[in-house]
Amino acid sequence: MSLMETTIKANRVLSTVEKLREDFPILKTTVHGKPLVYLDNAATSQRPSQVLAAYCFFCQSHNANVHRGIHTLGEQATDRYEAARRKVAAFIGAPSEKTVVFTRGTTESINLVAYGYARKFLKPGDAVVLTPMEHHANLVPWQIVATTMGANLRFWPMTPEGTLDMSAASDLLQPPVKIVALTHVSNVLGTINPVKEIARRAHAIGAKMLVDGAQAVPHIPVNVADIGCDFYAFSAHKMCGPTGVGALWGREELLDEMDPFMTGGEMIREVWLDHATWNELPYKFEPGTPPIAEAVSMGAAVDYLNHVGMDWLQEHDRQLVNYAMNQLLAEDGVKIFGPQDGRGALISFNVEGVHPHDLATLLDRDGIAVRAGHHCAQPLMRWLGVPATARASFYLYNLPEEIDQLMEGIRRAKEVFAYAR
């Protein structure tokens, strides 16, 4: 591509961002008297007016419980809840909407597989393969289920730059491995894992594969059929949607064989005093009153991301991350964690002589929101040899100027701490 074409493309991306920012009322907020610079999108993203309006409209016009009432509002609520499921299913390339279960989010989706599938099918001596870069949500449920079932956990070795060492695959993926569970995109390293290749290799030994897509679905076009995995988990609140809702996609035959994780109303077909039978998919896994307005707004978030365009979003993320990466690499005393290329829309880093918590506190005074801490990945922090990192994470409304402000904030923090020493 010529320089001119590149510039035109970059300008188009920028003017689009300026327009998109108008959709996010919170971006006009000030923090400590400074305009908000929101760089904590990997923790949760902001919501556009369209998604907020969808929530309000549902509550004002169609609020009722779902799958129960013969009355008009009940039918309208059910129609909208099921329409949201169809949107979510189409967004991730799910072959059937029956295979999309609404949950409270990624954490619950993974627990559903660990308790509903693994606790039923794992046998003593079986193994579950995980990676050291997992969020606790994709580690602790497996620890508990493996202990209960007498199974073992195996961990995929990583290269020094924080990618999976693919040369270890043949040794690692051997019977008695029954489940491989890994993140699509690391919430600390930004690493994008080769999930398609790993699914193929897992299936070659008869293992099932779960992908934690919490950091992927908001940022990259995801197609579960193309990946070829067995389960895929994600949350609405990192993709312009509300908290309290997310989804699990699973292969129909596996969801059929699985036990329910939680039981009660709605997930049953028939109940006697001493036993019960289960409802059809996906209701077997949706006990009680679901997060109805939240699911409807998750559907609105999908509409919004489709309107923005996932290909555009991916390119925008790539430009922002490259811009931030180049600046951070050029800054004295900054150490970056994770691969330099081919990464997701976030960068974890530390500044020499400044604790990440102090850095985040100083940045907050300038209105800049970043996360500092272990990012719910304590084993990964040990692997990195640090107690914590700072992390800047980007989304569709972030601008290069905001990265410039981050860099200025980092420089000010360096000065404060040089002076303090």
Q: Catalog residues that contact ligand 7TS under the rule CB under 6 A.
A: 42-43, 105-107, 135, 137-138, 183, 187, 212, 214-215, 235, 371, 375-376
Q: How far apart are CA 98 and CA 283, in angstroms?
A: 9
Which CA distances in Å does 71 have to 25, 64, 65, 67? 36, 9, 10, 11
Which of 96, 94, 112 has its CA nearest to residue 104?
112
Least distance to ligand 7TS, CB of residue 134, Å: 7
Query: Closest approach of Cβ 105 to ligand 7TS, in Å?
Result: 4
∠ CA 241-244-250, nearest 5°, is 85
Instruction: Characterize the bridge pairing of strands 127-130 and 371-373.
Output: unpaired
**Nearest approach, Cβ of 338 to ligand 7TS (angstroms)?**
13
**What's the sign of the alpha-carbon dihedral 125, 127, 133, 138?**
negative
Strands (E), 246-365: 246-250, 268-271, 276-278, 334-337, 346-351
Q: How far is the CB of 401 from ligand 7TS (least distance, A)?
A: 24
Structure tokens at 117: 């599938």
CB-based contact 227:247 (threshold 8 Å): no
Known active-site residue 376: yes
Q: Of 336, 327, 351, give the one whose Cα is nearest residue 417.
A: 351
Beta strands 208-212 and 231-235 are: parallel
Q: Is 357 helix (H, G, I), strand (E, B) or coil?
A: helix
**Nearest to ligand 7TS of 214, 390 (CB atom):** 214
* Strands 208-212 and 152-155, sheet pairing: unpaired
H helices of 183-309, where? Answer: 195-204, 224-227, 252-257, 292-308
Instruction: Write the CB contacts of 70 (distance below 8 Å, at least 6 apart in sequence).
Output: none
- What does the chain come to in residues? 421
260 preceded by cis ω (within 30°)? no
Quote the distance between the C-alpha of residue 127 and its chain's center: 25
Instruction: Identify which of residues 242 and 282 has a Cβ nearer to ligand 7TS in the complex.
Output: 242
Active site residues per annotation: 376
